[in-house]
Structure 1
């Protein structure tokens, strides 16, 4: 496992001086780190659009046999019906007082895929296809478009009944509504079409950055919805969407809690270990994910002047949870855990509990301070055990 003593110290400012107090962290060092990652890795994100508009297009206050209120909201990024837009799918528990805490996260295969509810609007956005997907059966996709047969194909990763029973709303949106994850499409769809000038720069607005930006736009809507407590919203993501959730939490302090599940390289794991997925693979297999500037770090993983514990430091002192799986070798679970240990010093510097352990816990043992971590059996996936730990952590920090 990487030794945290050899990692760059997030508490040392660009001047070479050590951060003296919390005020200096917030006024100087935190801004330095955010500017560094905006320039070198995730790209410069635009401000909230001045003409951002929301429209509730469907609502049922007795959805799921009365357990929840279902609300479907279109977010028009440029304010026009013809422009780029994403659809939010919301389920709000009915048996608890309002406003409720919420979990917000992007999904991989469309809002209609997270539950078989026949009233969820089927996405019109591009959909990947193929017969070898290990998580869902995409035989329902016809010419890269979802069909009625695609309903509920991803429900196993989204235990909606459990989330509602614990008193949380679930809010989700489809990644392809926001920005293409197909390298062949480049930046020709979604929000990227609104900001062409950003793509001519080396600190361009990549797809991970676009997804994170859209999570903030969802938060803009949430602040207008009286059923949701905007001070108690957790942002969640798995895999590449876990990378986006972490950057969203780092970028937007309105998120009260951040859950980055099996996010691996470019998410929670340390590059400097030189283990698992590396920067060269990220920049060549997924050239649309990060800013062009990130290419200059290919084959220099172990020599980076920064690492992902810096991104986690931007979340501090808000609660942060990282989840791993023992067989998820590409994500390097030991590297994800090493980041958790490395950022503990920032949390403690800011006066919180941080992470109350220094060694990897055994399987299925959640360690929770202001930072939480677990590693479970199995591979790259999201299952009920994971959600149970995240809901327990949310109970501890949002209730």
Structure 2
């Protein structure tokens, strides 16, 4: 009995120590993040406090707007008007004039510029095993991408990438790359979010892909760049900067994760079992933002599946609905973007931002992109499903100019209705913060472009 009591005491004591250690680590990250945030504001010469963003808690006194009747009028920049005011009327003008202009504007003011001399990545297979996705045999390989750190050995970056291909594949097949997490080679796969299913009979995403004889990959963003401001002096950003603070125009975490996806694409091009012309990119929430940034800046990805990306992703920033610029440019989220973006929550306003989300979607043109969102009854209104739909609407003229189809309506569709007739697709499913209930719809749409 005494031993049992002692065991219970030791177990409780261990849990308490772990909780205190975890809390201490969080406090340390928050303190370092705040120091980095204030350093960036100092570099920018911003001496005033940022405007506070609204709360995601609908019961809070400063709750984010979720009422369409309270959306104030706004004017969007025209993606088909060049910086000199001239209209873009031809495909060549888009590709040679306007697209480079938009890329630069997004780099200057929002996502940041890539360093000119990025280090090489050397990929190596670490493990390989046979497994299954539902009833389908799969061969999975775990790769490590070691980033050359010879210029600053104090920081190591090792990119984690898992690839699953139908067992016995003998020809190059399509593959979807997801931003996510892996538990290889030990332990069971992570439990899917409960909102993942339409019903208990909906197969998981891997099984759906393998059933079509397509492959999957999971790229781990945290192995590229930490998801906090404290990590900006480490990861790939810190490695290139030799452990020093960023400059205002340098890349943030979203662009760094997208760079990591580009490094994975470099590997895919060397694997004879993967068709590099049929590679998709998928992600949800902040990883949905990263997936859209990847599609916009890296034209090698042929299809996008952008899940609940919200503000900073596919949702119009000028719409005062859900998450706002003030949230994105706060000390909790500024690390996703370049330092210059902080200006738009302090000394400037969102109306002065020279770009908006519809132009980020337009940078994907003419490649097909599917915008996914969950039910506001489950997911909430923070990500602004209608704002993402409208970004697709206002990107559609660019697709039309390039001989493709955008969205075929300006009216926000009922939940569950799939707008999949064009190269911009949209569907609001009945689940939560996940692409899960849209996978079968996305696959049917993607099959039009990848089937051979």
The TM-score bracket by the shorter chain reads: 0.7 to 0.9
Q: For the structure 1 residues 58 and 155, does the alpha-carbon distance in structure 2 shift closer, same or farther, using more than 3 Å as the test?
A: farther
**Separation in 2 of the partners of 1:30 and 1:315?**
10
SS at match of 2:334: coil
Any conservation in 1 of the 2:315–2:383 contact (CA below 8 Å)?
yes
**Residue 51 in structure 1 maps to residue 120 in structure 2:** yes
- 2:175 aligns with one of 92, 102, 114: 102
**Separation in 1 of the partners of 2:245 and 2:398?**
33
Any conservation in 1 of the 2:370–2:442 contact (CA below 8 Å)?
yes
**Separation in 2 of the partners of 1:167 and 1:320?**
21
**Separation in 2 of the partners of 1:155 and 1:47?**
39
Q: 2:441 maps to what in 1?
A: 389
Any conservation in 2 of the 1:99–1:228 contact (CA below 8 Å)?
yes
**Separation in 2 of the partners of 1:240 and 1:397?**
26
Q: 2:236 maps to what in 1?
A: 191
**Separation in 2 of the partners of 1:247 and 1:20?**
25
**Residue 315 in structure 1 maps to residue 346 in structure 2:** no
**Separation in 2 of the partners of 1:389 and 1:96?**
25
- 1:377 aligns with one of 430, 435, 444: 430
Residue segments in structure 1 that go unaligned for 5+ positions in a row: 113-119, 123-147
The number of equivalent residue pairs is: 362
Q: For the structure 1 residues 199 and 121, does the alpha-carbon distance in structure 2 shift closer, same or farther, using more than 3 Å as the test?
A: farther
Q: 2:249 maps to what in 1?
A: 203
Residue segments in structure 2 that go unaligned for 5+ positions in a row: 1-67, 197-203
Q: For the structure 1 residues 13 and 98, does the alpha-carbon distance in structure 2 shift closer, same or farther, using more than 3 Å as the test?
A: same
**Residue 291 in structure 1 maps to residue 362 in structure 2:** no
- 2:327 aligns with one of 252, 257, 281: 281
Any conservation in 2 of the 1:272–1:304 contact (CA below 8 Å)?
no
SS at match of 1:17: coil
**Separation in 2 of the partners of 1:97 and 1:288?**
42
- Larger of the two Rg values belongs to structure: 2
Q: 2:373 maps to what in 1?
A: 324
- 1:165 aligns with one of 194, 207, 211: 211
**Separation in 2 of the partners of 1:253 and 1:196?**
26
Any conservation in 1 of the 2:149–2:239 contact (CA below 8 Å)?
no
Question: TM-score, length-normalised on structure 1?
Answer: 0.84
Q: For the structure 1 residues 336 and 380, does the alpha-carbon distance in structure 2 shift closer, same or farther, using more than 3 Å as the test?
A: same
Which moves more between the two structures, 210-219 or 96-105?
96-105
**Separation in 2 of the partners of 1:96 and 1:221?**
18
- 2:190 aligns with one of 149, 152, 166: 152
Which segments of structure 1 move beyond 6 Å, counting only runs of 4 or more? 1-5, 79-82
Question: TM-score, length-normalised on structure 2?
Answer: 0.75
Spell out the pairing of 1:238-257 with structure 2 (5 A cutoff). 238-257=284-303
**Separation in 2 of the partners of 1:162 and 1:79?**
39
SS at match of 1:221: helix
